[in-house]
Structures are given as C-alpha cells and as structure tokens.
C-alpha cells in the first residue's frame, strides 16, 4: 500500500556533506520525493515535531542539535514507506545500528544519528502537516 512518510536529514547530515549519500539510499530503494526543503528550524517547531519527547532528559540537547543549522525536510512516498524508511535508517543509536543501514554505516552517535523517519502512518500524517502544511 502506497504511503507517505516525513523524513529529516538532520543538521549533522548537512554539516558532514552527506545529503547526497543519504538521499541516494532512499532514491535507489525506489521511494519518490514528494516534497523537499532545506531550512533552519526554531525551538517551537522542534517542540512540535518532538512533542512525545519534550519532557525527556535527552530532549534539551536534542533541541539544541536540531535547531543548530540547516536540515533537509522531505516527504517520501512509496509502498510501505513508513516501515521501509525506518528499516533503511536503522536503530536509533548509531553505535548499535546494523551495518547496511544509514545510521549503522555513517553514525557513531545516539543523538547525531543523521535521519528521522516517522514511526507510524499516524505520526507521518501529523508530522507532514507540521512541516508541509500546504502539501496537497
Ligand atoms: P528515532 O525514532 O529512532 O529517531 O528515535 P526516538 O524517537 O526515540 O528519539 C528521537 C531522537 O532523539 C533520536 O533520533 C535521537 O536523535 C535522540 N535520542 C533518542 N534517544 C536518545 C538518548 O537516549 N540519548 C540521546 N542523546 N539522544 C537520544
Ligand atoms: Mg522517533
């Protein structure tokens, strides 16, 4: 079933010059880019996006990180896109993520782990509305 999902190439991806490398993983898999935008976000958008995490101990440094420079926000579309993107991203902690995944191949951090992917179709529609309110 074709789905849409919200993907972020976080500021570490941009800083490290890995936009092309990471985007290519999604493209060669067969996912379509429906929307794409390079932008620097403020704390308010970070809090909205990470609403489920704002009270957690790891959140203040995470907010610092995601607002620290430009990131690339994307909507990707394809068969089972939510689950497919999560699998390509790999486990949250780059040190534990499996080789072959984006985080497993390219990140050595639990926070600076390069990518975000919506965790369910419901999260995807909530997040797409936040990042791309005008997307039909
Ligand atoms: P995700 O869905 O795999 O991105 O992981 P979560 O939704 O659990 O967490 C959101 C983001 O917060 C992660 O991608 C990390 O950037 C960061 N994060 C999550 N857990 C931790 C943690 O225990 N320590 C640190 N430093 N960052 C974390
Ligand atoms: Mg998450």
Q: By the 8 A CB rule, do 105 and 89 touch?
A: no
Residue 37 alpha carbon to ligand 2 centre in Å: 20
Tens of pLDDT along 47-86? 999 999 999 999 999 999 999 999 999 999 999 999 999 9
Q: Per the CATH hierarchy, to which homologous superfamily does domain 2-131 belong? A: Nucleoside diphosphate kinase-like domain (3.30.70.141)
Residue-averaged pLDDT of the chain: 98
Distance of alpha carbon 127 from alpha carbon 134, whole angstroms: 13
Structure tokens at 57: 């101990």
Percent of the chain with pLDDT over 70: 100
* First CA to last CA distance, the chain: 19
Q: What angle in degrees, to the nearest 10, is found between the helix axes of 19-29 and 81-89? A: 140
Evaluate if residue 1 carries a pLDDT over 90: no
Q: Which of 4, 63, 116, 117 is catalytic?
A: 116
Question: Which pLDDT belongs to residue 67?
Answer: 98
Q: How far apart are CA 10 and CA 65, in angstroms?
A: 9
ipTM for the whole complex:
0.95
Mean pLDDT, residues 125-130 taken together: 98
Is 62 touching ligand 1 by the criterion CB < 6 Å?
A: yes
On whether the CB atoms of residues 5 and 117 are closer than 8 A, the answer is yes
Residue 58 among known ligand-binding residues: yes
């Amino acid at each position: 079933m074709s789905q849409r999902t919200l993907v972020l190439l976080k500021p570490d991806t941009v800083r490290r010059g890995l936009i092309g490398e990471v985007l290519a993983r999604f493209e060669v898999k067969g996912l379509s880019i429906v929307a794409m935008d390079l932008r620097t976000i403020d704390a308010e958008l970070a809090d909205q996006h990470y609403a489920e995490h704002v009270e957690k101990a790891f959140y203040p440094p995470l907010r610092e990180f995601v607002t620290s420079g430009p990131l690339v926000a994307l909507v990707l579309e394809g068969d089972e896109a939510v689950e497919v993107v999560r699998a390509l991203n790999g486990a949250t902690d780059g040190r534990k993520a499996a080789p072959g995944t984006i985080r497993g191949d390219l990140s050595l951090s639990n926070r600076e782990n390069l990518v975000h992917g919506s965790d369910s179709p419901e999260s995807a529609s909530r997040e797409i509305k936040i990042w791309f309110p005008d997307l039909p």
